[in-house]
Amino acid sequence: MNISVPKGFRLAVAAAAFKKTGRNDLALALSDFPAASAGVFTRNLFKAAPVLVGQETLKARMSARAVLINSGQANACTGPEGFRRCEQSRTLAGAAFGIDPADILPASTGVIGMQLNMEAFSRATPSLAQNIGQAGIEDFAAAIMTTDAFPKFCGESLDFAGKKVLLAGVAKGAGMICPNMATMLSAVFCDAEVQTPDWRAMFKRAVDLSFNRVSVDDDTSTNDTLYGLANGASGVRVAGPDLERLEEALVRVLKDLAYKLVQDGEGASKVLHIQVRGASGAADAELAARTVGRSQLVKTAMYGKDANWGRVICALGRSGASFNPDEVSFTFCGVELFSQGRPTDSDFDSLLKEALEKRDLTLDISLGRGSGEYLLLASDLGHEYVSLNADYRS
Amino acid sequence: MNISVPKGFRLAVAAAAFKKTGRNDLALALSDFPAASAGVFTRNLFKAAPVLVGQETLKARMSARAVLINSGQANACTGPEGFRRCEQSRTLAGAAFGIDPADILPASTGVIGMQLNMEAFSRATPSLAQNIGQAGIEDFAAAIMTTDAFPKFCGESLDFAGKKVLLAGVAKGAGMICPNMATMLSAVFCDAEVQTPDWRAMFKRAVDLSFNRVSVDDDTSTNDTLYGLANGASGVRVAGPDLERLEEALVRVLKDLAYKLVQDGEGASKVLHIQVRGASGAADAELAARTVGRSQLVKTAMYGKDANWGRVICALGRSGASFNPDEVSFTFCGVELFSQGRPTDSDFDSLLKEALEKRDLTLDISLGRGSGEYLLLASDLGHEYVSLNADYRS
């Protein structure tokens, strides 16, 4: 899959050896023009230095010129010195590319508690500058990976009165597996011209419909960051009613990336699509979906290819969502397992035999209450997850 | 370990073959006198028939004569017919023992969604009556097991002015692994004479200090039940200031049983003692402890014998407890890993090498805020958990 780099963006990757040598672990996306900027960050109280710097930058400026991401060191729990090193990294990159350091949005992922290796950073910056424009979207996505099994990227092309607008997105890391390698990072580049308040507002909504609706291990890292730049290089100004189409495309990009995160969720073999309907409100629907999606018992049952309806009802019953148990029904991969508070007598083991072999499993739950809905994507929990997370440091 | 049956209680077990043949799966404890009764039940909205019957019984009567427990079938999600069968089982046992069925407190654990096998029950009841008084505490504990690796029981002996009061407790099942085999069940027998309101009040408090402070997979089954009977057969009336001593003993019994639940938590190899101090309140302390205790990443790290401080701070930071990250410190097995928002430079891997081989691991967290405290026991998460839960039905 070849995704075009949106107009007016140039990408570069380099091997700085923050953790391992011989692989690219530093990536920069440069916009030739000031780009409307957006950012969404972790809500964890322990925030990495680049998260704090990124938040400040977005508060102070409506536009930015670059996104700078390193993998291998998270620069989290590094105190004032970590903050300084993050600023130094922007200064170095700013000098190499001839742009204002305050126009660079930084993000890091990797080992936490360790100071950023500035020597590695300084050494790699010149090659980053030399290679600018030579990297593609996939190279960028690969350079920000940590334990990811594959690079995650996608693109959208929109036509506005015969003129093309491109969006391209990258993401890394489903599981929150700090302090070693951590974090969900993502960046979206777009060549439309959009007013910053519109761009930021659509990011907030789009994240809520995508990244906020996936769960691998229900953790939130010190470094989770999503950046968006829209630089206007396509010559297409998107405003008014056209914004909706751009936002729909952005949602598709983020949903695609979010799906890939779950698909690659720390040894995940299944993607469980949990749709809750009929809740008394959206909050209750989310509560029910999240409790099912993070239930270790549901997750191990999916891994074991077991249509274990009892684990689903147990999770629903303790979720805190309000409903009458006698009005709860659900289908699993299209087969009704539970109806009005009772298991159905269907021979579901044989009916589901084939469906359970597939990667994508659907669970449609009706709480029989109101009109509250929520869709959550969750990964399963298997031996690979345990191995990856238990044996990680050894 | 031989635990004496408190005075005025007689126990019986039988093999009814609710699920498997050849093992005891039915247990009854009979009090020769009406005993002050107490019960604590699951808060899951899907409540098994015996839970509903038990709750009604405790509401209607201040005393009871027997506790009747079967393992292999949970009688949950069985509708009105399940309710009827639960009542039938009390009728049969009442007739066999010559007591009022409404004086029998029922509990079930096992496969959910399946109607109780009344034929098996009827067949086993006579042998239950024949054998009454022949079973010991350990036999009772073994008869109520499902996937438990060992029977869980303990006892306390108290001296009140030269007279002895005995307490004995049994429990089963740490993991909530319905619909197959499920549930935490526990019963405590005591030969003191206690007023029912006092007995019930101390149960509520004691549960909050014991069973409510353990976490295996953070699930809550359809059947979780704890019963307590105090029959006065010792001739010792416990009232006024003496109640405190009895309550302390009850807390010790329930804590001991709760510890054993975690120790046997679905293939658990570790018991993590998570002590949170310095929270702005008890609720925040609990939130912090529970988020750490249910973190898959913390649990897999314990399994992997990895002093992974980053996973702890990530869980704390997203717990919802309020604190300043720069004031957070914690020690792990006595070694300070994190101090005032930063990792310590201690060579913790070698310092902790020996400690990490042990079953019991301690994590002492200070949030640097106020005086809120909470202690939670949590199990680890390893390959055995996945195997047990993923392969359970196959």
Please, which pLDDT band fits residue A179 given cuts at 50, 70 and 90? very low
Minimal C-alpha gap between A59 and chain B (Å) = 22
B285 and B175 fall within a common domain: no
State whether A222 and B295 contact (CB < 8 Å): no
Write down the pTM of the prediction.
0.87
Per-residue 3-state assignment (H helix, E strand, C coil) for chain A:
CCCCCCCCEEEEEECCCCCCCCCCCEEEEEEEEEEEEEEEECCCCCCCHHHHHHHHHHHHCCEEEEEEEEEEECCCCCHHHHHHHHHHHHHHHHHHHCCCHHHEEEEEEEECCCCCCHHHHHHHHHHHHHCCCCECHHHHHHHCCCCCCCCEEEEEEEEECCEEEEEEEEEECCCCCCCCCCCCEEEEEECCECCHHHHHHHHHHHHHHCHHHEECCCCCCCCCEEEEEECCCCCCECCCCHHHHHHHHHHHHHHHHHHHHHHCCCCCCCEEEEEEEEECCHHHHHHHHHHHHHCHHHHHHHHCCCCCHHHHHHHHHHCCCCCCHHHCEEEECCEEEEECCEECCCCHHHHCCCHHHCCEEEEEEECCCCCEEEEEEEECCCHHHHHHHHCCCC
CB contact under 8 A, A310 and B77: yes
- Predicted confidence (pLDDT) at residue A222 exceeds the cutoff of 60: yes
Under 8 Å between Cβ of A14 and A139: no
Residues B249 and B317 reside in one and the same domain: no
The pLDDT of B269-286, averaged and rounded, is: 95
Say whether both A190 and A290 belong to one domain.
Answer: no
Flag whether A175 is in a domain: yes
- Contact list in A for residue B314 (CB cut-off 8 A) is 44, 46, 176, 178, 182, 219-222
Which residue of B43, B77, B311 is in closest CB contact with A313?
A: B77
CA atoms of B116 and B323, how far apart (whole Å): 50
Nearest chain A Cα distance for residue B286, angstroms: 17
Residues B246 and B311 in one domain: no
Residue where a domain terminates, one of B205, B234, B263: B263
Residue B1 in any domain: the answer is: no
Is pLDDT above 90 for A340?
yes
- Find chain B residues with C-beta within 8 A of A383's C-beta: 383, 386-387
Q: For residue B337, what is the nearest residue in chain A, using CA coordinates? A: A113
Could you say which of B46, B303, B394 has the minimum Cβ distance to residue A314?
Answer: B46
Q: pLDDT grade, residue A394 (50/70/90)?
A: very low
The verdict on A150 touching B (C-beta cutoff 8 Å) is no
A113 touches B: beta carbon within 8 Å: yes
B219/A315 CB distance under 8 A: yes
Does pLDDT of B179 surpass 70? Answer: no
Whether residue A288 sits in one domain with residue A145: no
B147 and B169 in a single domain? The answer is yes
Residue A298 lies in a domain: yes
Whether residue A297 and residue B217 make contact (CB cut-off 8 A), yes or no, is yes
Q: What are A159's two structure tokens? A: 């036509």
Q: Looking at the structure, tell me whether residues B163 and B290 fall in a common domain.
A: no
CA distance B353 to chain A (A): 12
Catalytic residue among A57, A125, A183, A291: A183
In a domain, A4, yes or no: no
Chain B residue whose CA is closest to A75: B342
Residue of B nearest to A311 (CA): B178
Query: A278 vs A335, B42, B67, B129, B296, CA distance in Å?
Result: 18, 24, 39, 49, 30
Chain A nearest CA to B349, separation (Å):
10
Q: Does the active-site annotation cover B220?
A: no
Instruction: Name the residue range of residue B367's domain.
Output: 271-390
Indicate yes or no: CB of A389 within 8 angstroms of CB of B309: no
What is the C-alpha separation between A73 and A81, in angstroms, rounded?
14
Contacts of B296 in chain A (CB under 8 A): 217-219, 296, 381, 385, 389
Assigned token pair, A115: 């100071």
The alpha carbon of residue B336 is apart from the nearest alpha carbon of chain A, in Å, by: 14
pLDDT on residue A1:
67
Q: How high is the pLDDT of residue A209?
A: 92
ipTM field: 0.84
Is A178 in Cβ contact with B392 (below 8 Å)? no
Is A3 domain-assigned? no
How much of chain A exceeds pLDDT 90, in percent? 73
CATH code, domain with A204: 3.60.70.12
pLDDT digits (tens, 9 = 90+) for A236-257: 999 999 999 999 999 999 999 9
Q: Highest-confidence range of A262-271, A289-298, A321-330, B348-357, by mean pLDDT?
A: A321-330
Of A263, A291, A317, the last residue of a domain is A263
Residue B357 pLDDT more than 70? Answer: yes
> B159 has which bridge partners?
B164
Most B-contacting residue of A297, A316, A332 (CB-CB within 10 A), to test interface: A297
Q: What integer pLDDT is reported at residue A166 of this predicted model?
A: 98
Selecting from A314, A383, A389 the residue whose C-beta is nearest the C-beta of B44 gives: A314
User: What pLDDT sits at residue B1?
Assistant: 67
- B256 and B280 both lie in a single domain: no
- Put simply, the answer to whether A46 touches B311 (Cβ < 8 Å) is no
Asked whether residue A208 is domain-assigned, the answer is yes
- Label residue A384 by pLDDT band (50, 70, 90): confident
Q: Which of B176, B300, B301 sits opposite A297 (nearest CB)?
A: B176
pLDDT bucket at B386, cuts 50 / 70 / 90:
confident
Distance linking the first and last C-alpha atoms of chain B: 35
pLDDT at res. A308: 85
pLDDT band at A127 (very low <50, low <70, confident <90, very high): very high
> Is a pLDDT exceeding 70 seen at residue A24?
yes
Judge: A389–B300 Cβ closer than 8 Å, yes or no: yes
Q: How many domains does chain B have?
A: 2
For residue B310, give the chain A residue with the closest CA. Answer: A179
Residue at which a domain ends, from A263, A288, A311: A263
A276 and A251 housed in the same domain: no
- Point out the residue among B217, B297, B393 whose CB comes nearest to the CB of A217: B297
Is the pLDDT at A351 greater than 50? The verdict is yes
Contact B49, B57 (CB under 8 A): no
Question: Quick one: B21 exposed, middle or buried, by C-beta within 10 A (0-12, 13-18, 19+)?
Answer: exposed
Residue B219 has pLDDT above 70, yes or no: no
Give the nearest partner residue to B46 out of A46, A77, A313, using CB atoms: A313
Residue of B42, B109, B125, B183 with catalytic role: B183
Shortest CA gap A99–chain B (Å): 33
* Distance (Å) from the alpha carbon of B114 to chain A's nearest alpha carbon: 9
What percentage of chain B has pLDDT greater than the value 90? 74
Say yes or no for a CB contact (<8 Å) between A221 and B343.
no
Does one domain contain both B160 and B236?
Answer: yes
H or E element at residue B145: none
User: Is residue A254, in this structure, part of any structural domain at all?
Assistant: yes
Does residue B4 belong to any structural domain of this protein? no
Is A283 found in the same domain as A253? no
CB of A300 less than 8 A from some CB of B: yes
- Contact status, residue A215 vs residue B318, Cβ threshold 8 Å: no
Closest to A45 (Cβ–Cβ): which among B306, B310, B317?
Answer: B317
Residues of B in contact with A115 (CB under 8 A): none
Over residues A36-90, the pLDDT tens digits come to 999 999 989 999 999 999 999 999 999 999 999 999 999 999 999 999 999 999 9
| Average pLDDT of chain A to the nearest whole number | 91
Q: What pLDDT digit, counting tens, does each position of B63-103 carry?
A: 999 999 999 999 999 999 999 999 999 999 999 999 999 99
Please state, in angstroms and as integers, the Cα–Cα distance from residue B393 to each residue in A21, A174, B76, B111, following that order: 45, 29, 18, 11
Are A99 and A180 contained in the same domain? yes
Q: Which helix (H) or strand (E) holds B65?
A: strand B63-73
Contact between A382 and B389 using a beta-carbon 8 Å cutoff: no
- Judged by CB atoms closer than 8 Å, whether chains meet at A113 and B342 is answered as yes
* Alpha carbon distances (Å) from B191 to A334, B5, B188, B230, B237: 55, 9, 10, 5, 9
- B340 confidence band (pLDDT: 50, 70, 90): very high
Nearest CA-CA partner of B172 in B305, B65, B70: B70
Q: What mean pLDDT value characterizes chain B? A: 91
Residue partners of B382: CB distance under 8 A and separation at least 6:
A386, A390, B267, B268, B269, B300, B303
Return the bridge partners of A27, or none: A13, A69
Q: Average pLDDT, stretch A183-188?
A: 91
Report B:308-367 residues touching A (Cβ under 8 A). 308-311, 313-318, 323, 325, 338, 341-343
Shortest alpha-carbon distance between residue A221 and chain B (Å): 6
Q: How, if at all, do strands B185-190 and B329-332 pair?
A: unpaired
CB pairs A-B closer than 8 Å: 194
**Residue in A closest to B305 by C-alpha:** A390
Of B112, B325, B341, the CB nearest to A310: B112
Most B CBs within 10 Å: which of A184, A357, A386, as the mutation test of the B interface?
Answer: A386
Predicted pLDDT at A180: 38
Whole-angstrom distance, CA of residue A140 vs CA of residue A361: 31
pLDDT of residue A178: 36
Which residues 162-221 of B are in CB contact (within 8 Å) with A? Answer: 175-180, 182, 217-221
Q: What pLDDT is attached to residue A360?
A: 94
Distance from CA of A163 to the nearest CA of B (A): 44
Residue of chain B nearest A42, judged by CA positions: B318
